[in-house]
Amino acid sequence: MKIGVARTKITPRAMGIDLWGYGFYLDRKAKGVADDLYASAVEFNYSGRKALTISCDIGNLDRSFIDECSRELLEETGYDQINLCASHTHSAPAGCDMRGVGALDSEYREFLKKQIFNAALYAHQDVEAVDIVTAITKAEINENRAFLDGETNNNIYAILAQTESNKIKSIIYNYAAHPVNAPKIDQGPESFWVSAGFPGYANRYLSDKVGCIPMFLQGSCGDVNILDQGVFRKAKEHGHVIAEKILAAPTSMIDTPDMRLGKIKIELPAIIPTKEFVDDTLQKLPVNNPAFERLLEEWKKDTIKGIAEDAFSDVLQRDVNFLHIGDETCLVFHPFELFSQLDKDIRSRSPYNVTFLNGYSNDSLGYLVPNMDETSIINPILKRAINYSREIIPMVTKSPHLERDAGKVFVDQVATYLEESY
C-alpha cells in the first residue's frame, strides 16, 4: 500500500462573502478569519489502482460541482475512485446552491475547484509506501439534539499511515457532530468569523504534534451536535480532545493492507409532488417569520413549475462508494446526514471491525431519518426535529421529499453490500 497526502488553503481571499448555515436569509457576511480552511487530500495507491479522497472545511458540496472536479481530475490522473467530502462546518462559505442558507459565490467556487485540483496533484506527487494501522476510541463531546437522553455514536474511527521510518504520514479519522460552536448572529461577533470549527482545531493539533497531514471525515451527525453549541472558544477545546484521544488510542496493524473499491447505486423512494402535496405541506408548517415565509414561497414557486414540466421522479438515485483496506476496514462515502439510529442499524449488520460512515460525500442531500410517525410523538423537541428534517430541509437542499421508509431502504442497501463484500 502506498499513499500520498497534501492540503491546500481554501480560506476565502476576501471578506464580505456569505457564510453558510444557522438560519434562512441571514445575510451573514464574513468579517474576519478565526482559523484557516483547508482541502486535505489522500491518495490510496495499491497494485495499479488509485483512489482519491479530499475533505474540505466547508458546509457542503453539490453533485454538479463534484462531477466537474472529478472530470478534470480523471483527465489528469485517471483515478479509479474519487470522493469529495465536506466537514459541514457552519462558518465557511456556501459550497453549493441551496435555498436560503447563504448565496453561492462564483469566484469562490472557482477558487475552491482550483485548490481541490492542486491538493490532488500534490498528493499524487507525494505517494510512498506505508504501513496501515487502525484505532477506535471515544470522545464524549457530542450530544443528541433531537431525542431527550438519546444515544449518539461517540466513537472516533481512525486510520494511521506510517512510513518505513515509522513516521506518521497521515491520520484519517471520522467523528459524528455538527460543527456549530459559532453563536447566533445577535449573540456575538464570532458568528461572522470564518472557521473550520472543532475539526480544524483537531487537524492542527495532530499536525503540530506528529508532523502529519490529517483528514477529518464527518460521521452520522443528523441528530448530533458538538457540545456547547454557540460557545465559540469551545471549538478549540473539543478539537484538542479528539486529537488527544486518537494519539492515545491503542492501534491494530493491518497485516495485508490491500485495497478494494466498490460502488452501489442506491434507490430511495421519493414523493412525486402534486399541487395537493404542496398545499398540504405548507399547511403543516406554520409561518413564524418573514425569512421562513420567503423560503416556503420560493419552494412552492419552484415546485409548481417542476410539476408543470413533469420534472420529478419517484426514485432518488445516488452512488455510494466503498473503500476497503485489508479485510477488516471499510470506508463508506454517502451524501446524507444520517440520524444515529440509522448509523447504529448499519453498524449492527456490518461485519467489518472498522466501518467509517462518511456523510456529505459526493453530494449534500440533507437528512435521513428513522421511520417515525410524528403525529404520535409527544416530545416537542423530537417532533420539531423530525418535521425540520423531513419536511423543511428538502426545500433547502432542492432535493425531493422522501417516503417515510427511505432511511430503512438506505440501511438495507448499504448493509447488504457490506455483508456481501466481506
DSSP E strand boundaries for 149-218: 155-162, 168-175, 193-194, 215-218
Q: Is the separation of the CB atoms in 7 and 116 below 8 Å? A: no
Tell me which DSSP letter residue 103 carries. Answer: P
- Is residue 311 in some structural domain? no
Q: Which of 11, 3, 5, 4 lies closest to 115 in space, CA to CA?
A: 11
- Give residue 17's region: left, alpha or beta (phi > 0; psi -120 to 50): beta
- Is residue 39 in some structural domain? yes
Distance separating alpha carbons of residues 91 and 73, to the nearest angstrom: 27
Strands 2-9 and 38-46: antiparallel
Strand order from edge to edge, sheet including 2-9: 81-86, 49-56, 38-46, 2-9, 128-129
What is the domain range of residue 100? 2-260
- Is residue 352 in some structural domain? no
- Is residue 320 in some structural domain? no
- Is residue 110 in some structural domain? yes
- Is residue 194 in some structural domain? yes
Q: How many CA atoms lie within 13 A of 242 on its CB side?
A: 36
Q: pLDDT in tens for each of the 422 residues of the chain?
A: 999 999 999 999 999 999 998 989 999 999 999 999 999 999 999 999 999 999 999 999 999 999 999 999 988 888 999 999 999 999 999 999 999 999 999 999 999 999 999 999 999 999 999 999 999 999 999 999 988 778 899 999 999 999 999 999 999 999 999 999 998 888 889 999 999 999 999 999 999 999 999 999 999 999 999 999 999 999 999 999 999 999 999 999 998 889 999 999 999 999 999 999 999 999 988 888 999 999 999 999 999 999 999 999 999 999 999 999 999 999 999 999 999 999 999 999 999 999 999 999 999 999 999 987 766 666 677 777 888 899 999 999 999 999 999 999 999 999 999 999 99
- Is residue 270 in some structural domain? no
- Is residue 137 in some structural domain? yes
Burial grade of 84 (CB within 10 A; 0-12, 13-18, 19 or more) = buried
Q: What is the pLDDT of residue 377?
A: 64
Q: What is the pLDDT of residue 374?
A: 66
Residue 9's contacts (CB-CB under 8 Å, 6 or more residues apart) are: 36, 37, 38, 115
Q: What is the pLDDT of residue 92?
A: 97
Q: Which residue has the cell 404520535?
A: 376
Counted domains in the chain:
1
